[in-house]
Amino acid sequence: MSNIRDIAKLAQVSVATVSRVLNNHPYVKDEKRRAVWQAVQELDYQQNINAVHLSKGKTFVIGVVLPYINHPYFSRLLEGIADGAEANGYKLMVIQTNYQVDKEVEALDMLRLKQVDGVIFTSRNSPWHILKEYRAYGPVVVCENKMDNQISTIYIDHYQAFQRGMELLIQKGHRKIGYCIGRRKGSNSQKRHEAYRDQLGKIGEAVTEKWIFERCLHMEDGARVLREWRDMKEAPTALVVTNDLVAAGIILEAEKLGVSIPDNLAVIGFDDQPLAEALQITTIQLPLPTIGKEAFQQATQDVKVIHKSLPFELVERKTV
Amino acid sequence: MSNIRDIAKLAQVSVATVSRVLNNHPYVKDEKRRAVWQAVQELDYQQNINAVHLSKGKTFVIGVVLPYINHPYFSRLLEGIADGAEANGYKLMVIQTNYQVDKEVEALDMLRLKQVDGVIFTSRNSPWHILKEYRAYGPVVVCENKMDNQISTIYIDHYQAFQRGMELLIQKGHRKIGYCIGRRKGSNSQKRHEAYRDQLGKIGEAVTEKWIFERCLHMEDGARVLREWRDMKEAPTALVVTNDLVAAGIILEAEKLGVSIPDNLAVIGFDDQPLAEALQITTIQLPLPTIGKEAFQQATQDVKVIHKSLPFELVERKTV
DNA sequence: TTAATTTATGAAACGCGTTTCAGAGCAAGG
DNA sequence: CCTTGCTCTGAAACGCGTTTCATAAATTAA
């Protein structure tokens, strides 16, 4: 394996000149240029990118933290990030965390150790102060609605989005409304809960804890929810659901059990995945790829901290 | 930013000793150990992993090539790879290619430049000889059925899997059978086609080109197929479909258009995603996460070239 | 008590590309 | 003819951790 010094020797120039030639810098005589390329060919030179990274103190790699790779919400987000990366000559290091804090810290450590130039959290479980702590090592971007003067956030206003869903249901006459969520403690989840509480408050209804279905993220969870719902003495007439996947699970299980949607139960999802279109699910469309792309921008530019909310849109179909 | 030499100076030891302490090597007096850690604290030392990579000639990163991140087939595969990586202290660099050859080559270049220790192709578009060319730079693992004495392959026998699907349909009395596929030229696709041709041959039927639906990968494609199918003068009575997602698209569109599944059209999918369970799709279950995990193993171990086929299983539900 | 190990430690080399800085040569401007 | 101002180069420093090798000191085995 030859290196730049071997090339220099063979081409009878200095390593500086070799570097210049390889990187297409100006101010090198054509004959030297040719000599260098000639030597590169002869020795079958391959650059060692790790030396470049060391020397430049930069890797053009962004770390992406996501709890589950195989979930359309995060896949779409990741896709957006990947598009941004591709367009800007960056690579992506993907860390699947299953919401384990140590995995999240591992991702942050890549930043600390200069393995990546920035980190994007599509979701997180670690306390905020940990992210702040690592902020000194490089840009950290988080996809949630949080105002912090050091960490940029690109997000959907889940409070408003959830509110929009609630409004639609209330407008259709629903008063007994429940909701599904992946986990309670997430920041986005909390925003949704606040919207839930506030909207119920507006129509003089109290929060019914039993109507809040936790651990709802995948399609199977939807089926579970529908069965639980069916067995309730007092059941809600409408559900605002984590995402389209869970909504689909609810709807398909409802079909099996002879529950009519939306007559017996109205359902509203989030995301607007192809599945929502196929099943005619009323949903709140979220611009996930755009979030991803913008998060990427922020992770690479780091000129100033921003907090950007991207618009959602209600897509009315047939489940409300 | 302090480095190992600063630590050495402050702790009054050599850099070799610092390195030993940091890496928990034996043969260092406890007092020096303490002195080093003390200095590390004082100077807030952060290791530069790029120097480690350069020095070791290894990065503990594996490159994963996949055409589409946001597709459950590849997501599940990636999930398996990620599990393997996590369990072995490796990180993953993900390259989304959209089947562009230059993107695939970019991934291979990461291997050549020592940015990654190995590359896994979950699917590819580049000619085989390119992969072979890069094989010299490190392990390249491909998820398709190809016997090569240099490149390991971990795969599902798509010929047999497709055959199994065809057999079921034929056994149920179908003779006019079509199929859906993502793209014709893929190696796995070709295996499927061969099985299609052969099975049709066995029952004395010829291949009907119009019954081969190309560019079927996502749910929307299924809807398109169903409509095309509906408009055919002579239509197949059964379809073996790319994957569960497309099958779901077909089934849901059929429902909308009043086409009865399986009475008017039998459908069999691949993968056995949660969606298949929810929609009661008869499908060929593929061990995607296992494929991923094994591919990972092979990408890191590289002791000898293997070709491993993993078993699939027919899951009969209600669409055949 | 001597030989053979084991423990401990540092100098120096190794992995390798980038960039700064000083200086030389040469052409255009005055 | 002299002064700017490019063009072109290379030496050396920089980024930084790992590992080998030689050596010294302390044990243990014989």
> Which residues are within 7 Å of strand D by their Cβ atom?
A 12-17, 20, 26-29, 31-32, 51, 54-55, 57; B 1, 3-5, 15-16, 18-20, 22-23, 45, 47-48, 51-52, 54-56
With an 8 Å Cβ cutoff, are A96 and B82 in contact? yes
Residues B20-76 have pLDDT tens digits of 999 999 899 999 999 999 999 999 999 999 999 999 999 999 999 999 999 999 999
Question: What are the start-end ranges of the E strands in B76-224?
Answer: 91-96, 118-121, 140-142, 152-156, 177-180, 212-213
In a domain, A52, yes or no: no
| Final residue belonging to a domain, choices B13, B29, B47 | B47
Q: Are A84 and A103 in contact (CB under 8 A)?
A: no
Residue A177 phi/psi, 5-degree rounding, is: -120, 135
With an 8 Å Cβ cutoff, are B94 and A75 in contact? no
Contacts of B274 in chain A (CB under 8 A): 218-220, 249
Q: Which residues pair with A118 in a beta bridge?
A: A62
Do residue A271 and residue A258 come from a single domain? Answer: yes
DSSP conformational letter for A263: T
With an 8 Å Cβ cutoff, are B278 and A223 in contact? yes
In a domain, A319, yes or no: no
Do residue A80 and residue A198 come from a single domain? Answer: no
| d(CA A46, nearest CA chain B) in Å | 6
Do residue A153 and residue A302 come from a single domain? Answer: yes
Q: What is the mean pLDDT of residues B151-165?
A: 97
pLDDT band at residue B200 under the 50/70/90 scheme: very high
| Closest listed residue to residue A108, CA positions, set A74, A132, A86, A76 | A132
User: Which helix (H) or strand (E) is B220 found in, with range?
Assistant: helix B219-230
Both tokens assigned to B39: 């200095």
Both tokens assigned to B17: 């000793």
Q: In CATH, what number is assigned to the domain containing residue A28?
A: 1.10.260.40
Tally the domains of chain B: 3
Do residue B252 and residue B300 come from a single domain? Answer: no
> What is d(CA B90, CA B58) in angstroms, rounded to the nearest whole number?
11
Q: Which residue of B lies nearest to A107 if distances are taken between CA atoms?
A: B91
> What is d(CA B261, CA B280) in angstroms, rounded to the nearest whole number?
11
Residue B219 phi/psi, 5-degree rounding, is: -60, -40
How far, in Å, is the CA of B76 from the C1' of nucleotide D20? 45
Q: What is the mean pLDDT of residues A122-142?
A: 96
Q: Is B137 on the interface with A (CB under 8 A)?
A: yes
| Share of chain B residues as helix, strand and coil, in percent rounded to the nearest 5 | 50, 15, 35
Do residue A262 and residue A292 come from a single domain? Answer: no
pLDDT for the residue numbered B153? 97
Both tokens assigned to A179: 């909701």
> What is d(CA B94, CA B77) in angstroms, rounded to the nearest whole number?
12
Q: Is B53 on the interface with A (CB under 8 A)?
A: yes
Contacts of B70 in chain A (CB under 8 A): 72, 75-76, 78-79
Residues A44-66 have pLDDT tens digits of 999 999 999 999 999 999 999 99
Longest CA pairwise span in chain A (Å): 88
pLDDT band at residue B141 under the 50/70/90 scheme: very high
Query: Of the candidates B79, B93, B248, which has its C-beta nearest A70's C-beta?
Result: B79
Which site among A1, A45, A49 would you substitute to test the B interface, given the most B Cβ atoms closer than 10 Å to its Cβ?
A49
Q: Which residue of B lies nearest to A277 if distances are taken between CA atoms?
A: B220
> Which residues are within 7 Å of strand C by their Cβ atom?
A 1, 3-5, 15-16, 18-20, 22-23, 45, 47-48, 51-52, 54-56; B 12-17, 20, 26-29, 31-32, 51, 54-55, 57
pLDDT for the residue numbered A302? 84
> What is d(CA A316, CA A285) in angstroms, rounded to the nearest whole number?
10
**b/e per residue A258-297 (b: at least 16 CB within 10 A):** ebebbeebbbbbbbbbbbbbbbebbbbbbbbbbbbbbbbb
Residues B240-270 have pLDDT tens digits of 999 999 999 999 999 999 999 999 999 999 9
In a domain, B117, yes or no: yes
Do residue A169 and residue A280 come from a single domain? Answer: yes
Percent of chain A with pLDDT over 90: 98
Do residue B116 and residue B166 come from a single domain? Answer: no
Q: Are B216 and B181 in contact (CB under 8 A)?
A: yes
Q: What is the mean pLDDT of residues B152-178?
A: 96
Do residue B14 and residue B116 come from a single domain? Answer: no
Residue B175 phi/psi, 5-degree rounding, is: -130, -25
Do residue A169 and residue A257 come from a single domain? Answer: yes
Residues A12-47 have pLDDT tens digits of 999 999 999 999 998 999 999 999 999 999 999 999
pLDDT for the residue numbered B1? 86
Q: Residue A303 pLDDT > 90, yes or no? A: no
In a domain, A78, yes or no: yes
pLDDT for the residue numbered A1? 86
In a domain, B260, yes or no: yes
Q: What is chain B's mean pLDDT, rounded? A: 96
In a domain, A73, yes or no: yes
Q: What is the mean pLDDT of residues A71-93?
A: 96
| d(CA A178, nearest CA chain B) in Å | 22
Q: Is B279 on the interface with A (CB under 8 A)?
A: yes
In a domain, A318, yes or no: no
pLDDT band at residue B133 under the 50/70/90 scheme: very high
Cβ neighbours for A274, distance < 8 A, ≥ 6 positions apart = B218, B219, B220, B249
Cβ neighbours for B220, distance < 8 A, ≥ 6 positions apart = A274, A277, A278, B249
pLDDT band at residue B302 under the 50/70/90 scheme: confident
> What is d(CA A121, CA A77) in angstroms, rounded to the nearest whole number?
11
Neighbours of B157 (CB within 10 A): 17
SS3 A52: helix
In a domain, A320, yes or no: no
Question: What are the start-end ranges of the E strands in chain A?
Answer: 61-66, 91-96, 118-121, 140-142, 152-156, 177-180, 212-213, 238-240, 266-271, 283-285, 307-310, 313-315
Neighbours of A30 (CB within 10 A): 7
Q: What is the mean pLDDT of residues B108-128?
A: 97
How far, in Å, is the CA of A33 from the C1' of nucleotide C29? 31
Q: In CATH, what number is assigned to the domain containing residue A279?
A: 3.40.50.2300
Do residue A205 and residue A259 come from a single domain? Answer: yes
Do residue A117 and residue A173 come from a single domain? Answer: no
Do residue A166 and residue A273 come from a single domain? Answer: yes
With an 8 Å Cβ cutoff, are B96 and A110 in contact? no
> What is d(CA B276, CA B222) in angstroms, rounded to the nearest whole number?
14
Q: Are A172 and A266 in contact (CB under 8 A)?
A: yes
- Look up the domain containing A222 and give its range: 158-285
> What is d(CA A188, CA A191) in angstroms, rounded to the nearest whole number?
5
Cα angle B295-A94-B274, degrees, rounded to a multiple of 5: 65
Q: Are B149 and B127 in contact (CB under 8 A)?
A: no
Q: Is A53 on the interface with B (CB under 8 A)?
A: yes
